[in-house]
Structure 1
């Protein structure tokens, strides 16, 4: 496969993984909250490690190589902060609904909760798609592919959770699956943005890597960790996080 076809495959696979994660809905009717917390913990662990070893640390190394200055890492640090600010602004203005915890924002109640749930998972998927695009845009195909695989793995538990949330709101299995799949398709769009910003301006690579890392850290800290550590399954959720951390290191070292 050429590098272009690998890039396209990686971006699309990461995007459809949310839908693939919802496939178990057809084979099992109910999943325990403990199981879901392990799955979401796994997602959080993968994203946490990926944000550093695939984005922030390579960004710092790239900044030092490009700018030959002890202050070069500041480009990455500024990117982290601006990435956080960008995603928190979207978070504040885009109406969405959490699956388990109470809503943390005001929104128009005329919007159905099903729509709000789909918007929530789409909001979470945007930074992940951005990160995958930046990873491939850096020119390191292996790094981009590893990041795409990691994002795909962590998207699967999220797809199952959003599918279950939609079923609880009265959706059919077919509709829950399709909504989960469609919510993941925001990732290729975000990936195209990240890829273009990095590919056409390699001098901006340290900033874009930090920016993508900052958006992912927001999702982990603001959305995922509070979600999994709130209903008495801390030990199981922590096991999921550790499993995700180990899995991401294996992907980075051996694939």
Structure 2
């Protein structure tokens, strides 16, 4: 074959009609994004041409969140974050109607920046205090401490205490609740449906409680979405668990295709443990952050209250496994998945006291347990393929009542 022939065969013919090759699809999608970024950058560099007069005569919007209050010998340390769109300066600090001298790490807080104020004040152990941060334009940001206590040093012993606290309120109660396994294995089908109803009631209470607690943490704050972060966390957890379940179904035996959508007991128990674990993560976060700022006295009575309240979570995990072989290793893993996140939550809460983060994690727990509660419903069907039978409804009401009654023991 000659060189001329080789050249002829390797050169592709031009497109019909002389048209150019089509533009790649990914480039068509990337183009508008690049254009938007360029326009926003130019707009920011020019400081919003023509919009300067809109803010004339309007005071800046001040949204400050107090994230941490620590009591040290002769001092009170307050960490605040600017969650608004405008810069903010703290000009004065008032502690129980006394204007105290203070220093701060940042004179002016830009949006999302923090400052730590060290206030010279001889506080008294056990006394309540009302702290108000006064801004340069006269705004007041309040912070209330019910009972002042010396803040622990955040060293090895402190984190060891937080770990022990997580074990007390998470791991041990769940393990105790799983001791109902022998009783459940000897129960009749009717009793199992009743206990499944109790499990749904328990999870429903946890979901509602987490949503309400998360919204309370960010009430009155529009930063990071405000109360929306709770629902965002719930939606993320729900979608992640649904996606995980769909992936697991895709890899299961093809013979199960077309059958009812009830989950296998082992997988359902795993999802329940994951959901409860996410809930306990948020619970541990709240406990750790409250203890770190000295606003919660975690005495023996409160520990017992948490233990009783969380013991019912172990019952929820083992109920779907009534007819499964009781393997100690599997039960131990499920118990750790459900209880150990309380340890992580306490450690995080003791070091990062951020209301929006706490609310998001509480939302994660709410979405997770709600998703699992819906997965339990197909298992509650009777011979007439009805879910909300009188027995199942009674179980749900009983579960709600148990959680409400035991929840009264941990009010602090």
The alignment's TM-score, normalised by the length of structure 1, stands at 0.73
The correspondence for 2:266, drawn from 118, 123, 133, is 118
SS at match of 1:202: coil
Question: What's the counterpart of residue 92 of structure 1?
Answer: 246
Tell me by how many angstroms 1:176 deviates. 4.0
Alpha-carbon distance in 2 for matches of 1:121, 1:225: 13
Question: What's the counterpart of residue 99 of structure 1?
Answer: none
Question: What's the counterpart of residue 11 of structure 1?
Answer: 170
Higher relative contact order (CA 8 A, sep 6+): 1
Alpha-carbon RMSD: 3.2
Mean Cα deviation higher: 227-236 or 5-14: 227-236
Question: What's the counterpart of residue 182 of structure 1?
Answer: 333
Unaligned runs of 5+ in 1: 96-104, 111-115
Question: What's the counterpart of residue 227 of structure 1?
Answer: 379
Alpha-carbon distance in 2 for matches of 1:18, 1:217: 20
| Larger helix fraction of residues | 1
- Contact 1:39–1:240, Cα closer than 8 Å, also in 2: yes
| Larger strand fraction of residues | 2
SS at match of 2:323: helix
The correspondence for 2:311, drawn from 126, 139, 152, is 152
Mean Cα deviation higher: 243-252 or 3-12: 3-12
- Contact 1:50–1:150, Cα closer than 8 Å, also in 2: no
Task: Select the structure of larger CA radius of gyration.
Answer: 2
Alpha-carbon distance in 2 for matches of 1:86, 1:147: 28
Alpha-carbon distance in 2 for matches of 1:73, 1:144: 29
The alignment covers a number of residue pairs equal to 225
The correspondence for 2:366, drawn from 194, 204, 213, is 213
The alignment's TM-score, normalised by the length of structure 2, stands at 0.48
Question: What's the counterpart of residue 245 of structure 1?
Answer: 400
Alpha-carbon distance in 1 for matches of 2:361, 2:303: 14
Find out whether 1:107 has 2:251 as its counterpart. Answer: yes
- Contact 1:23–1:160, Cα closer than 8 Å, also in 2: no
Unaligned runs of 5+ in 2: 1-160, 255-263, 291-295
Assess, with a 3 A threshold, how the Cα gap between structure 1 residues 130 and 197 changes in structure 2: closer, same or farther: farther
Question: 1:188-234: CA deviations, max 9, x gaps?
Answer: 3444555556555432111111111111111112x122321444571
Alpha-carbon distance in 1 for matches of 2:343, 2:316: 24
Alpha-carbon distance in 2 for matches of 1:8, 1:134: 14
- Moved segments of 4+, more than 6 Å: 141-145
Alpha-carbon distance in 2 for matches of 1:194, 1:90: 23
Tell me by how many angstroms 1:128 deviates. 0.2
